[in-house]
Structure 1
Amino acid sequence: MKGGMISRTAVVWQLLAVLLVVLPHLQWLPLWVPALVVVTIGARLMIHSGRWSFPHWLVKAMLVLACSVGLILSFNHQAGPETMVALLVVGLALKLLEIYHRRDALVVLFVTLFVAATAFLFNESVWMAAYVLLVVGLALAALNSIQQSSHANRYRDNLKTALRLLLPAIPFMLVLFFLFPRLEPFWSVTIDSGQGTTGLSDELSPGDVSKLAQSSELAFRATFAGDVPPPEQRYWRSLVLSEFDGRRWTRPAMQIRRQLRPEKLTPLSVAQNYDVIMEASRRPWLVALDQPVSAGRGVRMTPVRTLRADQPLERRRQYRVESVAEYQLQPLLTSQEKQRYLQLPLGGNPKSRTLARQLLVEGGGEASRVISLLLERFNRTFIYTLEPGYLGRDSVDQFLFETQQGYCEHFASATTFVLRSAGIPARVVTGYQGGEWNPYEGYLQVRQYDAHAWVEYWLPGHGWQRLDPTAAVAPERIRSSAQDFFRANESRFSGVGLGLNTGWLRNLRQRYDAFNYGWHRWVLNYQGQQANLLHDWLGGGEQWRKALAWLLPTALVFGLSFWWLIRPRGSRPKDPLQRLLMQLEQRLAALEAERFPAESLSMWLQRIAEHWPEQRALMLRLAFLDDRQRYSAQPKSGQRREMLQLCRQLLRLLPRRR
């Protein structure tokens, strides 16, 4: 074969690397692609063993055509990252069928390394990083093996060489990580894996939030610079919904949102700083504790005091926020703004409108009294549940006068409707409430079952006030974490996906989550912390300091790596018997029984045996077996094992010094 034959070891390493590099993509690849990989790997083994010949060019052309049609049908003409990675995997599989030369094997391994990097398009966890490192090690072992003789079959030597190549690269990788300027990764692209991502929507209908309660997926994590707010103050604001069509609450139209003036916020308490790591949601809105004062770079504050990213979150995002727990928000509203927050459909829900007028009369026209009467009504007969039943066209009437059971969105929607019907400006706010404290890394983790909806109503001179009608029905839901509340009321909330959250399993899950949090914060999102960290390390931000900090560690790493590669290595034998014989010779030399240069092992042992009567029999037996092993036409493995035992016995019996 031109370019040299490939050994069986090289083929095994190569096929193993190809197989492992495809495994992370099994969850989204069309089923026929992994099947093609398995078939081509089997065909490659048959070709290498000589049982099959290389396929005819017509067969290869038909395979290329069939795979092209399969990719077009599977991805529906979409030229996204998934299509490109699938094309690479298909090309990698087909290339296995035509490895005529050594350079073909090199192409396969280079494409394998590239496909290994694409795994981070779909998963950035620490386990994926370790897995990709394993695949890279196997690919390096394969690269080493194809450069060897076709008769060489040394698996262990290939692995050792791969490790020697990888280990010097680790210090240099750390230097690059800490000192090199952070660049936006090339995989920050839109990934459509065909799986929905849970999260808050920009509209609210009966049952929307209760669906999220059935998911234990992580929504975000938050780390506080100071004291952590108590559970009843953990309202994570995300969206403000003010438009109602009789069933759904939505945001105003884009034209109206552009005309909104920013609401004036007057802090009445000390601001609190905290960092949020938001999971990918494919939506642009972020979360902040009620009420946010300012946000970090790349985060925009909307006129209604919610946070929004410049682009939808296709990957994990870290940002810093400053919030206050006590505040005065927009104490004055224009007549147009009041009208907007009193907007209701012309018809529908007549009983609720009548109830609003009745409460207004009973309350003497005072907004606070109207709210108290409505909350008392909730507290008497209403039930907080995930299964409220279907609500029809007049959903507010059905909820208030028929079913009288629902989740937070039912209470928030009905409360806002009644308040508006009573002439009190109100709006719905959606986000999250609560969060579970992780003691191992000191942060709050908020999951999708913490999703919540509440109300903001407006009072002249006081501004927007937060009102949570859920607290009137299930106050323990607000005073404790959602997880503890759902567990305490398991009979009513059996559909909540709490996962492993009991006893030692809960502690184990928290430790695992804390480990992932450290990975996400210090590795994946390190670009947000590098500037401050380098400034603290270097004592300043001057360019000469950065250049010196880059050059010195780089020179040190390269110098150590160069020394490691060229350092003199000892002549320690690889054969276990030769190593033991060398140790025995060194031990006896220390006891003044040196071996002469022209003296064979057998002659030397026979000569010194007279001076060691206690070990004489062992030495003579070892000398006899050495002669048999050296000069016998067919050495026996049993004699070799006996020699190993005799060497160990002599090393154990002989003193270490004179």
Structure 2
Amino acid sequence: MKGQQISRTAVVWQLLAVALVVLPHLQWLPLWVPVLVVASLGARLMIHRGRWSFPHWSVKTALVVASSGGLILSFNHQAGPETMVALLVVALALKLLEIYHRRDALIVLFVTLFVAATAFLFNESVWMAGYILLVVILTLAALNSIQQASDANRYRDNLKTALHMLLPAIPFMLVLFFLFPRLEPFWSVTIDTATAKTGLSDELSPGDISELSQSSELAFRATFSGEVPPPDQRYWRALVLSHFDGRRWSRPEPAVRHSLRAEKLTPLSPEQPYDVIMEASGRPWLVALDQPVAVEPGLRMSAVRTLHLDAPLERRRQYQASAVTRYRLQPLLTSAERQHYLQLPASGNPQSRALAQRLLAANNGDPQAVIRQLLAQFNREFIYTLAPGRLGSDSVDRFLFDSQQGYCEHFTSATAFVLRSADIPARVVTGYQGGEWNPYERYLQVRQYDAHAWVEVWLDGEGWQRLDPTSAVAPERIRTSAGEFFNANNERFSRGGLELEWLRDMRQRYDAFNYAWQRWVLNYQGQQSDLLKDWLGGSEQWRLILAWLLPTAAVFGGVAWWQLRPRRVRIKDPLERALLRLQQRLTGENCRRQPAESLSMWLQRIAGYWPEQQSQMLRLAWLDDQQRYAAGADQTMRTEMLQLCRQLLRELPGRRIP
């Protein structure tokens, strides 16, 4: 069995590959799993150094039982992707305790490659791609090392061999990437990780939040084909909340939603086409620039002109749409629709109801005058803040008459309530507003702190009109990005403090690099058909077959030639290399060294042809004899021989006899 044992070098490579492949999963794995991995690595290292023996079968059985129970308790009997990946990591850690033969090492490394691939379920960034490439290289080095003798110790050779194995695969990878058709996945998985967070929810309840901490996580990126809308027109609608239970706004019941008519939109400005790359949110809805006109196939537009999918968005998605910023929306409401958008609880918030009646009476029932007076009151008496405190019962009354401070959700909720109390149809819209322009890749970047809420009010003959009460209290929040506004007003903000100009520039460059990666690599599927048509002149089947076969044959032919070509033996010793160059230079008919002729005899024979260099040649011949046969040979002789060779190469005319 000795021939099946693995070298110490192989053990070190395996431990390094296992340690690195587990690192990307530390952010979501239960704490005991990384502890088990570290303990297994340490135990295997002690076994490798001969201080510990391999564990008894009873110890390994107990670890398997305990780990199985830990997985069941940690993941609450759920058999999702996280559970399966955690099971692989645990199995990898336990297998480390019995690596002795080549077969055990192969199993560990094959599982390591599989765990490396699962990292892309949780993170698809360019940095993760580079990191996993490093893990693959180290794993290939480990695979090479287990084929060596048990006493081998060649770390550098293992790494070089791994790189030589990987390089020929790069051309074939590019052919597959550009030409192989993208297939829809045969299964769908739901990843419940930190990457699937959102700044919006299906409900709006500002009275229950005492302090809002803004998140800088990315929500989506948008690229415009034409003119970019100004900041105060960057309203991205996601949900329409039209049901109020006295404390929170929410979407109406499904039966009510299905009864609403599809709202008629009359554009009053040219369409603005744009592309969106939206991050995973775990929700079925998407964002659309207000108001959406057309969307790509596969997306659904609700009756209230919001976009949604048939299933929750668990992976980053790219889609196309177009919008108009000036429009007339649903100029007529049925009595049922009007009643729905005036719905309020039978009781609650009496002071706000009385305020609505006073405003209505003071303005002779004019809805627009009521709106102007309410916004003017917000501008005079109210404060925008992210730490308004809890409001308790009758939250609208407490906000309007007691605290008089809050953020967009407080102003939106109170405005919609007062308007409905004044018999003016209104509804709440949630989404995002603003965003930061990136000049390097020319796209708009919207983060979770750009989440926003506003009101849509229905006016007779004009239809639904956007009304943003936040603009009356903090107009700079609408005219600038949310990040700049929170920084300037010393609000609680995740970046902390004002951002230096060079730091902002570096961050934008980094974001632009990530955007290019996501758009041209991760979302290449949406562009592949158009690119192939441009490259091939059409998308007929025979063109696609040739486009696939010819590059593939060229790649395989090039790889085969590279592997089978005759290779020159590279001489590493500088003295031997110099002597070989000297013999190649003196190639005249009488100067060529004969097969049975020693170097010393050859130099003595040809020395007479070059009288000026005769002494150097004879000296070189004598040093060669001393170096090869004398007992007192040392490095000094080799150094002198190398100097003589280089001197002769400079002085001899070469390739002819005088």
TM-score w.r.t. length of structure 2 = 0.92
The residue number in structure 2 matching 1:537 is 535
**Post-superposition offset of 1:261:** 1.8
2:505 counterpart (504, 507, 514):
507
Amino acid at match of 2:489: E
In structure 2, relative to structure 1, the CA distance for the partners of 1:376 and 1:75 (3 Å cut) is same
Amino acid at match of 2:566: P
Q: For residue 242 of structure 1, report the CA deviation from its aligned partner.
A: 0.9
CA distance in structure 2 between the aligned counterparts of 1:374 and 1:472, rounded to whole angstroms: 10
Match of 2:370 in 1: 370
CA distance 1:588–1:512, change in 2 (3 Å): farther
Q: Could you say if the C-alpha distance between residues 573 and 383 of structure 1 is closer, same or farther in structure 2, counting changes exceeding 3 Å?
A: same
Q: Which residue of 2 aligns with 1:524?
A: 522
How much has 1:342 moved relative to structure 2? 0.9
Q: CA deviation at 1:134?
A: 1.4
Tell me if structure 1 keeps the 8 A contact 2:221–2:444: yes
Q: How many angstroms does 1:515 deviate by?
A: 0.7
Displacement of 1:73 in angstroms is 2.7
Matches of 2:68 and 2:516, distance apart in 1:
42
Matched residue, 1:138: 138
- Per the alignment, do residues 496 and 90 of structure 1 end up closer, same or farther by CA in structure 2, a change over 3 Å counting? closer
CA deviation after TM superposition for structure 1 residue 59, in Å: 2.6
Aligned partner of 2:595 in structure 1 is: 597
Aligned to 2:547: 549
- One-letter identity of the residue aligned with 2:108: V
For the residues of structure 2 that align with 1:442 and 1:147, how far apart are their CA atoms?
Answer: 51
**Structure 1 Cα separation of the partners of residues 645 and 73 of structure 2:** 69
Shift of 1:640: 5.4
Moved more, 6-15 or 16-25: 6-15
Query: 2-side partners of 1:139 and 1:30: how far apart?
Result: 25
Is the contact between residue 241 and residue 250 of structure 1 (CA under 8 Å) also seen in structure 2? Answer: yes
Aligned pairs for 1:261-280 (under 5 A) are: 261-280=261-280
1:519-538 per-position Cα deviation (integer Å, ceiling 9, x unaligned): 11111111122222222222
- Whole-angstrom distance in 2 between the partners of 1:577 and 1:186: 62
Q: What's the counterpart of residue 448 of structure 2?
A: 448
How far did 1:150 drift?
A: 3.0
Unaligned runs of 5+ in 2: none
Aligned length in residues: 656
Q: CA deviation at 1:40?
A: 2.9
CA distance in 2, matches of 1:426, 1:450: 23
Per-residue deviation at 1:280? 0.8
My pick for the range that moved more, 528-537 or 440-449, is 528-537
The alpha carbon displacement at 1:499 in A equals 8.0
Q: Which amino acid aligns with 2:569?
A: S
Partner deviation per Cα, 1:142-182 (whole Å, 9 max, x = no partner): 22222233343333332222222211211111111111121
Where does 1:169-188 land on structure 2 (aligned, <5 Å)? 169-185=169-185, 188=188
**Residue 490 (structure 1) aligned with residue 509 (structure 2):** no
Structure 2 CA distance for partners of 1:495 and 1:108, relative to 1, 3 Å: closer
Read off the aligned partner of 1:398 and give its amino acid letter: R
Q: CA deviation at 1:420?
A: 0.8
Structure 1 distance, partners of 2:590, 2:427, is: 97
Letter in 2 for 1:511: R
Deviation track 1:320-344 (CA, whole Å, cap 9, x = no partner) reads 1111111111111111111111111
1:372-407: CA deviation from partner (whole Å, max 9, x where unpaired): 111111111222222223212122222222222211
Contact 2:138-2:162 at 8 Å conserved across structures:
yes
Q: Following superposition of structure 1 onto structure 2, how do residues 384-395 of structure 1 map, counting pairs within 5 Å?
A: 384-395=384-395
Structure 2 partner of 1:116:
116
Task: Tell me if the contact between 2:207 and 2:391 (Cα under 8 Å) persists in the aligned partners.
Answer: no
Alpha-carbon distance, 1:232 to partner: 1.1
Deviation at 1:50, TM superposition (A): 4.4
Q: Does structure 1 residue 360 correspond to structure 2 residue 368?
A: no
- What aligned pairs does 1:341-352 form with structure 2 within 5 A after superposition? 341-352=341-352
State yes or no: 1:34 paired with 2:37.
Answer: no
2:415 is aligned with 1:418: no
What does 1:41-52 correspond to in 2, within 5 Å? 41-52=41-52
User: Residue 207 of structure 2 contacts residue 392 of structure 2 at CA under 8 Å; is this kept in 1?
Assistant: no
Is the alpha carbon distance of 1:84 and 1:494 closer, same or farther for their aligned partners in structure 2, counting shifts above 3 Å? closer
> 1:572 corresponds to which residue?
570
How far 1:312 moved relative to its partner? 1.0
Cα deviation code 1:419-462 (max 9, x no counterpart): 11111000111111111111111110001111111110001221
Change in Cα spacing, 1:611 to 1:154, as seen in structure 2 (3 Å) is farther
Q: How large is the Cα RMSD of the aligned pairs?
A: 2.9
Say if 2:6 and 2:100, in contact at 8 Å, map to a contact too. Answer: no
Among the aligned pairs, what percent are the same residue? 75
Runs (5+) with no aligned partner, structure 1: none
Q: Is the 8 Å Cα contact of residues 434 and 450 (structure 2) preserved in structure 1?
A: yes
Query: What SS does the corresponding residue of 2:510 show, helix, strand or coil?
Result: helix
Asked if the contact 2:433/2:450 (under 8 Å) is kept, the reply is yes
Once the two structures are overlaid, the 10-residue window that deviates more, 233-242 or 610-619, is 610-619
Provide TM-score, normalisation by structure 1: 0.92
In structure 2, C-alpha distance between the alignment counterparts of 1:67 and 1:633, rounded to whole Å:
66
Superposed displacement of residue 656, structure 1: 7.8
The aligned runs of 1:273-422 (5 Å cut-off) are: 273-422=273-422
Deviates more, 1:352-361 or 1:101-110: 101-110
User: Is contact 2:212–2:386 with CA below 8 Å preserved after alignment?
Assistant: no
> Cα offset for 1:623?
5.1
Partner-residue secondary structure (3-state), 1:529:
helix
What displacement does 1:87 show? 1.4
When residues 640 and 49 of structure 1 are mapped into structure 2, their CA distance, relative to the original with a 3 A threshold, is farther
Q: Which amino acid aligns with 1:430?
A: T
Give the superposition deviation at 1:36: 2.8
Structure 1 counterpart SS, 2:489: coil
User: What CA distance in whole angstroms lies between the structure 1 residues aligned with 2:638 and 2:359?
Assistant: 101
In the other structure, the counterpart of 2:227 is: 227
How far apart, in 2, do the equivalents of 1:195 and 1:549 lie? 37
In 1, distance between residues paired with 2:408 and 2:226? 30
> 1:307: Cα distance to partner?
0.6
Q: Which segment drifts farther, 468-477 or 573-582? A: 573-582
Q: Per-residue deviation at 1:200? A: 0.5
User: Does 2:4 match 1:4?
Assistant: yes
- Answer yes or no: is the 8 Å Cα contact 1:483–1:498 preserved in 2: no
Instruction: Name 1:479's counterpart in structure 2.
Output: 479
Shift of 1:230: 0.9
- 8 Å contact from structure 1 (residues 3, 102) kept in 2: no
Distance (Å, rounded) in 2 between the aligned partners of 1:70 and 1:636 = 66
Matched-pair contact (CA < 8 Å) for 1:287–1:306: yes
Q: Which deviates more, 67-76 or 341-350?
A: 67-76
Q: Is the 8 A contact 1:126 1:516 kept in 2?
A: yes
Per-residue deviation, 1:4: 2.9
Give the aligned partner of residue 559 of structure 2.
Answer: 561
Taking the aligned partners of 1:33 and 1:627, their CA distance within structure 2 comes to: 66
Q: Does the C-alpha gap of structure 1 residues 654 and 65 become closer, same or farther in structure 2, counting only changes over 3 Å?
A: farther
Whether the 8 Å contact between 2:208 and 2:392 is mirrored in structure 1 is no
Give SS of 2:342's match. Answer: coil
Please report how far the alpha carbon of residue 588 of structure 1 lies from its aligned counterpart in structure 2 after TM superposition: 5.4
Partners of 2:74 and 2:590 lie apart in 1 by 79
Instruction: Report the more deviating stretch, 183-192 or 644-653.
Output: 644-653
